A and B are shown apart, each in its own frame.
Chain A
Amino acid sequence: MMSDLTKLTLAGARDALKAKEITSNELTGAYVKAMEGARGLNAYITETGDKAMEMAKASDAKLAKGEGGALEGLPLGIKDLFATKGTLTTAGSHILDGFVPPYESTVTANLWRDGAVMLGKLNNDEFAMGSSNETSYYGPVINPWRRKDSDAKLVPGGSSGGSSAAVAARLCLAATATDTGGSIRQPAAYTGTVGIKPTYGRCSRWGIIAYASSLDQAGPITRDVRDAAIMLGSMAGYDEKDSTSVDRPVPNYEAALGQSIKGLRVGIPKEYRVDGMPAEIDALWTRGIEWLKAAGAEIVDVSLPNTKYALPTYYIVAPAECSSNLARYDGVRYGLRVEGKDITDLYEKTRAAGFGPEVRRRIMIGTYVLSAGYYDAYYLKAQQVRTLIARDFANAYAKCDVLLTPTAPSAAFGIGEKTSDPLAMYLNDVFTVTVNLAGLPGISVPAGLSSDGLPLGLQLIGKTFDEETLLRAAYALEQAAEFKAEPKTWWTA
């Protein structure tokens, strides 16, 4: 019974709780046990099993009375980028040593308002800077998936690698995540899970540790598209504490699922079909096109001519904003402190000890491109190209409703395989980063296995604030793909 409970989807568990077939105590207990038995994956930085059992008890009391919110009694994992009141919050960085927020992020507050249960805080790349979860101060997360006939350890993608690994290994029903250049969608693709990054402004950024404020957006990683719709419905909403959050009603996303996609115009951007793309990624994409066509969609060829400038644009805009956002870590107000002979020495020593190599690299690039004499050549130029990239999408959407692309250029790779070359690592986000620059919603849906037996994802990109059409198309894709593969549970002791 206990192991069966972790097989339920979020929607399945919700329905079973409402029908009183199970209790949150049983469900949460099963997840606490699974979490504690999977420490070898390093998915959680902080486990809060006792708190989870208390929250489950409170939920059971509500459920017994026929009360409770949309997520009542459902145990979730929280990316360690979300501030959680009274629980250590590290952003995967040494510099936030011992930081216990006296406040709760708006997104997690929304989840608790709806009755969700917190299992713990999930590992991530330091300050969400990375594509493999290898830059975390707390060590890499191990992907529960392995290549066929191999026990080599693979990355779970990043930066939300703890979230993707925990959902894939059934160490939580669903997880929160954040996406600045692909950090929800790429790890979802690497682990056979679903990840949606909503439109910029759909979820409040308040209480989420900032990386690049004009790109950062929260979203869920889940087992399937329905679960993503349910999670997003709770996470989203206007928040007066975030001036960039958008004041518009949150639709019932779940109601969009299952509606026909007959006549839906699906754009295929030709610039994403590139020389040297692995044949199995190309074949998966072609299959995706055929599936949507068979479901009644109309396939339209579109052009996004500035696609190849997206990564260079990102690696100016994101470091620039990061250098500004991370100026706050000074060894004085919170976290790590290394004493110095004067205040400047204290700052410099603290920041040298507290930031890992990738974060230091991005702060320095950002500092350089914003420094006197270089601002116009780099930052202003990048923001202009960003306008052109957004314009490409606007032009494409004159002809189509959603876009279909691969999520990532490869399946999950080995731990340590790409850490020596920052640029090779950056290329993992080539298909996802455009979406952040344009502020659009995007979702990754597991669509097949590589020849090595690893999951591969397809990405759908939607129009601004049209998550409903995006989810409707994603659900149709999921129905057609019938992705049922699961990793073998080799990690339990």
Chain B
Amino acid sequence: MWVTQTVLKNQNKGTLMSVDQDTVRRIARLARIAVRDDELPALAGELNSILHFVEQLNEVDTKGVEPMTSAVDVTMKMRDDVVTSGNLQKEVTANAPKSEDGFYVVPRVVE
């Protein structure tokens, strides 16, 4: 169908930007996801095919078009600036894989 054809067309066209393995490593670092070196080539391929697909948008003329910031046009309601909740330390830490005396436990961050 047309979408499939469009994707294929786009994949053959070459693109403005293409991610290499170093970029994939950098993205993984930013996303805080450990990626092994042997996973990099496949990941780069997958990310590139998705990026090529979305770069179709370059052909749309968006000059002077406001970016959508809200799906539905409504004015956000204001609420009174008061405390509505609190004293939930026990509930908040109940699901922590490691906690002690109502605090989260993490590896030492300050030497």
Contacts and interface: CB of A to CB of B under 8 A. Distances in A.
A324 to B, nearest CB: 11
B106 interface: yes
Contacts of A323: 31
Given A308-B2, A312-B54, A332-B96, A247 B77 contact: yes
Nearest to B4: A427
B54 A316 contact: yes
Contact of B107 (A244, A343, A361): A343
Interface string B33-73: 11100000001001101110111111010100111111110
A439 B27 contact: no
A385 B62 contact: yes
Given A351-B33, A388-B60, A201 B2 contact: no
* Residue in B43, B51, B71, B77 whose Cβ sees the most chain A Cβ within 10 Å: B71
A336 B95 CA distance: 10
Nearest to B104: A332
A388 B96 contact: no
A109 interface: no
Nearest to A274: B2
Given A336-B97, A352-B34, A430 B67 contact: no
A368 interface: yes
B6 A308 contact: yes
A265 B51 CA distance: 39
A423 B58 CA distance: 19
A201 B74 contact: yes
A11 interface: no
A275 interface: yes
A276 interface: yes
Contacts of A37: none
Contact of B47 (A330, A335, A336, A361): A361
Contacts of A243: 76-77
Contacts of B97: 331-332, 334-337
B107 A390 contact: no
B56 A309 contact: yes
Identify whether the interface residues of B are mostly helix, strand, loop, or mixed: loop
Interface string A329-347: 0111111110111111111
A381 B62 contact: yes
Interface in A419-444: 422-424, 426-427, 430, 436-439
Nearest to A382: B57
Interface residues of B, number: 60
Nearest to A409: B1
Contacts of A342: 107-109
Contact of B27 (A201, A367, A386): A367
Interface residues of A, number: 87
Nearest to B31: A367
A99 to B, nearest CB: 6
A39 interface: no
A335 B94 CA distance: 11
Contacts of A422: 46, 49-50
Given A340-B107, A342-B109, A464-B72, A363 B1 contact: no
* Residue in B34, B58, B65, B70 whose Cβ sees the most chain A Cβ within 10 Å: B34
B104 to A, nearest CB: 5
Contacts of A361: 43, 46-47, 50
B13 interface: no
Contact of A334 (B16, B43, B74, B96): B96
A439 B72 contact: yes
A141 B68 CA distance: 35
A334 B71 contact: no
B43 A364 contact: yes
Contacts of A306: 60
Contacts of A250: none
Contacts of A309: 56-57, 60
B51 to A, nearest CB: 7
A351 B32 contact: yes
Contact of B57 (A335, A340, A385, A390): A385
* Residue in B5, B6, B30, B109 whose Cβ sees the most chain A Cβ within 10 Å: B30
A387 interface: yes
A412 B32 CA distance: 36
Interface of B: 1-7, 16-17, 19, 23-24, 27-35, 43, 46-47, 49-51, 53-58, 60, 62, 65-72, 74, 76-77, 79, 88, 91-92, 94-98, 104, 106-109
19 contacts: A102-B92, A277-B1, A309-B57, A315-B53, A316-B57, A323-B31, A332-B96, A333-B104, A342-B107, A355-B33, A365-B47, A368-B51, A377-B17, A381-B58, A387-B65, A388-B65, A422-B50, A424-B4, A430-B1
Given A333-B96, A348-B33, 17 more contacts: A246-B72, A277-B1, A309-B60, A315-B54, A333-B95, A337-B97, A343-B109, A351-B32, A351-B33, A352-B33, A361-B47, A367-B30, A368-B47, A368-B51, A385-B60, A388-B65, A422-B50
- Among all A-B residue pairs, the 3 with the closest Cβ atoms: A439-B71, A383-B67, A337-B97
Interface of A: 98-103, 199-201, 214-215, 240, 243-244, 246-247, 274-277, 306, 308-309, 311-313, 315-316, 323, 327, 330-337, 339-349, 351-352, 355, 360-361, 363-365, 367-369, 371, 374, 377-378, 380-388, 390, 409, 422-424, 426-427, 430, 436-439, 464-465
